[in-house]
């Protein structure tokens, strides 16, 4: 089978913190023959593990680069200044390790191969329920990969019709709105599959999915992802590139997000930090052949550093700062320095959150805000402020002040756990040189980048032509 996206050569096992430039040959792409002819459930187990490994290899890089561009983190290795000069600079080399990161089409290809293979599996190997459950799982992880691709590239777009004809021309580039709409539909299709999937998966999920490891409970994760996609759709035109915030908000998408949140594992009454942290996580181990958390590092020596603004811009007494960062030796590189670092991943096997209850609550607050329901929106933010930050409720009057408070709480509760501060600042028109809460501020002489570039292998495969197909959704 011809690889329809040359960017698939990046494979599914690139570690999050790698600073090696991508090579062009096909390194780790799954073979069609591995999963197109399923004769044993052990293949299904390997397939499920493979797509999870693919996302696990992407999430660390998304957190790292999202938090650096979002002004909450640095990576300061003496031998590699591009973590500063590119991610805090005016542009990113599309052919370098930063420019080719977060393009998860190897995982998408594996999911596509698996979906076709499961559909063709004989009934003597897989029952109809097992096929439905597995397909729902694969489609959900495939949708998560598309979500990650568009979070990092935004208006640069991404191809979506990558599973139609593997021998034909490259799938056309699609606009941001179309990628989001496709992802939403894919998640809805996956939810339908999961509903027909019986009471158990025909494979075992890793420990990080405890509580989300059968079709019914996994559907609540699926609906949480769907809510996130719908929130992005709702605010897609609110702050266009080069424009001012205050543009149209898609009311239908807000309503869809609200319905999806109600069907998710969101618990707005969570009264402990542990309850806020509930959600699927990527697991790690030191076993041979497995991987450790690439964001783990010894605070005394790590190059991962907290931007000092995390400390100086926090409200006095915010327990999240005391819990998540620690003072250490100073490191300077390419014009920036820090003597703070993170304590969020204290061991090599500390899991990484994929989607948490607190993130869902923040999405609910953003939905309420978009609907003009400022009082409940602020109440949700203040609830997390009290439980997670140990702070008294904040008074905020007016839409701008309430949004700023939501984003403040989200910044500190999701610190070094997601790239959401960058994504949200872009979505709400705060990617500018103004200091918080109006914007993210100047760093190293530059305003924040809008998006990551399309990787050079993708550009080369298209002869340099990245023209998008006609947009149906902006």
Range of the domain at 326: 304-352
Contact 34, 43 (CB under 8 A): yes
Are 262 and 168 found together in one domain? yes
β-strand pairing of 352-353 with 281-282: antiparallel
Instruction: Please name which of 21, 95, 102 lies closest in space to residue 55, comparing C-alpha atoms.
Output: 102
Are 275 and 310 found together in one domain? no
Are 274 and 314 found together in one domain? no
The whole model's pTM is what?
Answer: 0.94
Q: Residue 165 is encoded by which pair of tokens?
A: 């004809």
Are 329 and 362 found together in one domain? no
CA 139/CA 124 separation, integer angstroms: 23
Are 256 and 358 found together in one domain? yes
Are 347 and 362 found together in one domain? no
Instruction: Please name which of 60, 416, 48 lies closest in space to residue 218, comparing C-alpha atoms.
Output: 48
CATH number at residue 167: 1.25.40.390
Contact 363, 276 (CB under 8 A): no
Residues of the chain with pLDDT under 70: 1-33, 166
Contact 49, 405 (CB under 8 A): no
Q: At what angle do helices 374-389 and 357-370 cross, to 10 degrees?
A: 160
368 in any annotated domain: yes
The helix, strand and coil proportions of the chain, stated in percent and rounded to the nearest 5, come to 45, 5, 50
Give residue 385's pLDDT.
98
Are 205 and 346 found together in one domain? no
309 in any annotated domain: yes
Are 101 and 159 found together in one domain? yes
CA 112, distance to chain mean position in Å, is 20
DSSP state of 2: -
DSSP state of 104: -
Q: Could you tell me where the DSSP H helices lie in 3-76?
A: 32-35, 41-69
Give residue 11's pLDDT.
35
Are 194 and 318 found together in one domain? no
The tally of domains found in the chain comes to 2
Are 213 and 172 found together in one domain? yes
β-strand pairing of 304-306 with 73-75: antiparallel
Give residue 31's pLDDT.
57
Give residue 168's pLDDT.
76
Give residue 166's pLDDT.
65
Give residue 33's pLDDT.
61
Are 341 and 367 found together in one domain? no
Contact 247, 292 (CB under 8 A): no
Instruction: Please name which of 193, 224, 212 lies closest in space to residue 283, comparing C-alpha atoms.
Output: 212
């Amino acid at each position: 089978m011809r690889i329809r996206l040359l960017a698939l050569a990046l494979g599914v096992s690139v570690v999050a913190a790698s600073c090696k430039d991508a090579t062009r040959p096909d390194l780790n792409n799954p073979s069609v023959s591995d999963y197109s002819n399923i004769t044993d459930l052990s293949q299904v187990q390997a397939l499920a593990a493979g797509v999870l490994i693919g996302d696990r290899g992407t999430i660390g890089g998304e957190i790292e680069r999202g938090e650096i561009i979002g002004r909450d983190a640095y990576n300061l290795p003496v031998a590699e200044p591009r973590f500063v000069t590119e991610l805090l600079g005016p542009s990113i080399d599309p052919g370098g390790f930063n420019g080719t990161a977060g393009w998860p089409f190897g995982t998408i290809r594996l999911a596509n191969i698996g979906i076709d293979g499961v559909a063709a599996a004989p009934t003597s190997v897989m029952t109809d329920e097992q096929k439905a459950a597995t397909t729902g799982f694969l489609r959900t992880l495939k949708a998560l990969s598309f979500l990650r691709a568009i979070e990092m590239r935004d208006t640069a777009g991404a191809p979506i019709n990558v599973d139609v004809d593997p021998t034909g021309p490259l799938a056309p580039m699609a606009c941001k709105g179309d990628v989001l709409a496709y992802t939403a539909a894919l998640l809805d299709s996956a939810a339908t599959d999961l509903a027909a999937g019986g009471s158990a998966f025909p494979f075992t999920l890793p420990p990080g999915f405890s509580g989300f490891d059968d079709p019914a409970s996994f559907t609540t994760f699926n609906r949480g992802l769907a809510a996130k996609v719908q929130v992005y759709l709702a605010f897609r035109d609110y702050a266009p590139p080069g424009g001012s915030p205050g543009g149209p908000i898609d009311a239908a998408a807000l309503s869809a997000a609200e319905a999806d949140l109600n069907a998710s594992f969101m618990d707005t009454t969570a009264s402990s930090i542990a309850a806020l942290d509930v959600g699927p996580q990527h697991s790690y181990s030191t076993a041979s052949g497995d991987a450790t958390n690439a964001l783990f590092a010894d605070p005394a020596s790590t190059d991962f550093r907290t931007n000092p603004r995390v400390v100086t811009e926090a409200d006095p007494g915010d327990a999240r700062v005391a819990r998540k960062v620690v003072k250490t030796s100073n490191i300077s590189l390419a014009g920036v320095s820090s003597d703070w670092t993170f304590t969020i991943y204290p061991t090599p096997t500390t899991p990484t959150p994929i989607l948490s209850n607190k993130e869902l609550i923040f999405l609910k607050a953003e939905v309420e805000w978009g609907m003009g329901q400022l009082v409940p929106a602020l109440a949700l933010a203040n609830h997390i402020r009290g439980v997670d930050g140990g702070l008294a409720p904040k008074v905020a009057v007016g839409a701008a002040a309430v949004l700023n408070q939501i984003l403040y709480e989200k910044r500190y509760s999701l610190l070094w756990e997601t790239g959401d501060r960058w994504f949200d600042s872009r979505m709400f028109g705060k990617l500018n040189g103004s200091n918080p809460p109006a914007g993210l501020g100047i760093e190293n002489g530059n305003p924040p980048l809008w998006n990551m570039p399309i990787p050079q292998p993708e550009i080369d495969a298209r002869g340099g032509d990245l023209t998008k197909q006609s947009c149906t959704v902006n």
